[in-house]
Amino acid sequence: MIFVGFGFLMVFLQRYGFSSVGFTFLLAAFALQWSTLVQGFFHSFHHGHIYVGVESMINADFCAGAVLISFGAVLGKTGPVQLLLMALLEVVMFGVNEFVLLSLLGVRDAGGSMTIHTFGAYFGLVFSRVLYRPQLEKSKHRQGSVYHSDLFAMIGTIFLWIFWPSFNSAPTSLGDVQHRTALNTYYSLTASTLSTFALSALVSGDGRLDMVHIQNAALAGGVVVGTSGEMMLTPFGALTAGFLAGTISTLGYKFLTPILESKFKVEDTCGVHNLHGMPGVLGAFLGVLVAGLATHEAYGDGLENVFPLIAKGQRSAKSQAVYQLFGLSVTLVFAFVGGSLGGFLLRFPYLDSPSDSQCYEDQIYWEVPGQHEPEAQTPLNVEESDTRA
């Protein structure tokens, strides 16, 4: 349930705090239930019963994580019913993709660089692309943050940063592997935090830092070791991976996000492409590399816990690497198909999506204290002077 922490990461929008944290809550509650069923059907369906336990709880949590990542791409432009329908489809696609990767292909992805982050990000981005609104600039003035909303978002960042070593190591086998995963994640996060600060100052022009980069790119180190965290990545490898992840993530926020929007019509509200998409794909490639280098000497008796098929002699390290790469391709295909399908089914404004001029605005969906008529006067005078100040 820890993924609800994502909710606060999205509170940065000046007029969308209730929806960010509220719909996170709604989506998580729905996805946790629905994915317990879907994943139970794939993984623990015996004699007409689904068996549940702590493991199914962790799996459902990870699936909810992917849904919340996709939510980040369309934040502010969709209504709660639309989001629930998106989750309805995404949970199924997630379950199928995870089943294909982990059970059919024997791919390793404990912390979900592929199954959670790559899948969630590209599902959301394609979904956002299909729902593209040419008139979105009518809501542009509400898209920024204000001082306190940025501080709220930092609560989410710190919460996720502290608990990320636990996320990545939760589904691994106990003992050595779990400790190794936690340590690799820890090193990678510290490195991505440093590279984010350095890059943010470097690319800003005037040497000042951008809160958006810190809030997000500092976490990219957790994403990038999602696949390889349980493997013999070594501390040096984890630091390098984290450094790269923080770097591409920050550069993505600065240079790629505007291009994605202007050229490719992909409006990515939270920049999930930078925090989950690119670092997820990088993490998948890192997994290919580290799996391909696996030897009996390096892992000893622990090989069985990380690469059971190699330990049993059914697969060489090289072929495991090929399977990892194939797993990434499968994930991207499922994400694109799922996101397109979801987008086309839900793109018409017959649902509860806000109009072009009402995006990023809480009072469409919430009774906001102190404001009884929707859009009465300039409803946003509120924070306007705020940002003008």
Q: Which of residues 105-144 bind its own copies (CB under 8 A)?
A: 141, 144
Q: Interacting stretch for its own copies, rule CB under 8 A, among 27-35, 94-102, 283-291, 308-316?
A: 27-35
- Determine, following the binding rule CB under 8 A, whether residue 183 of this chain makes contact with its own copies: yes
Cα Rg for the chain, rounded, in angstroms? 21
Q: Which residue has the tokens 């930092």?
A: 154
- Determine, following the binding rule CB under 8 A, whether residue 22 of this chain makes contact with its own copies: yes
- Determine, following the binding rule CB under 8 A, whether residue 368 of this chain makes contact with its own copies: yes
Cβ closer to its own copies: 12 or 334? 12
Size of the site for its own copies (CB under 8 A): 83
- How far out from the chain centre does Cα 354 lie? 24
Q: Which two tokens stand for residue 213?
A: 């980069």
Q: Which residue has the tokens 């934040």?
A: 75
Q: How far is the CB of 349 from its own copies (least distance, A)?
A: 16
Q: How far is the CB of 341 from its own copies (least distance, A)?
A: 24
Degrees to nearest 5, angle at CA 112 with 107 and 117? 125
- Residues in 39-58 that interact with its own copies by CB under 8 A: 52-54, 57
Cβ closer to its own copies: 319 or 387? 387
Query: Is 90 in contact with 67 (CB distance < 8 Å)?
Result: yes
Query: Is 27 in contact with 6 (CB distance < 8 Å)?
Result: no
Cβ closer to its own copies: 22 or 302? 22
- Determine, following the binding rule CB under 8 A, whether residue 239 of this chain makes contact with its own copies: yes
Spell out, one character per residue from 61 to 100, where the chain touches its own copies: x when CB under 8 A holds, - when not: -------------------x--------------------
- Residues in 157-176 that interact with its own copies by CB under 8 A: 157-158, 161-162, 165
Q: How far is the CB of 218 from its own copies (least distance, A)?
A: 6
Rounded Cα gap, residues 18 and 384, in angstroms: 18
Q: Interacting stretch for its own copies, rule CB under 8 A, among 85-93, 330-338, 340-348, 377-385?
A: 377-385
Rounded Cα gap, residues 366 and 368, in angstroms: 6
- Number of residues that make up the chain: 389
Answer for which of 89, 194, 322, 351 binds its own copies (CB under 8 A) is 194
Q: How far is the CB of 56 from its own copies (least distance, A)?
A: 8
Please give the full DSSP string across 15-61, using - where no structure is assigned: T-HHHHHHHHHHHHHHHHHHHHHHHHHHHSEETTEE---HHHHHHHH
Answer for which of 125, 211, 312, 343 binds its own copies (CB under 8 A) is 211
- Determine, following the binding rule CB under 8 A, whether residue 339 of this chain makes contact with its own copies: no
- Determine, following the binding rule CB under 8 A, whether residue 243 of this chain makes contact with its own copies: no
- How far out from the chain centre does Cα 83 lie? 16
Spell out, one character per residue from 280 to 319, where the chain touches its own copies: x when CB under 8 A holds, - when not: ----------------------------------------
Degrees to nearest 5, angle at CA 55 with 54 and 61? 90
70 CB burial (10 A radius; 0-12, 13-18, 19+): buried
Task: Measure the CA dihedral 130/134/140/144, to 10°.
Answer: 30
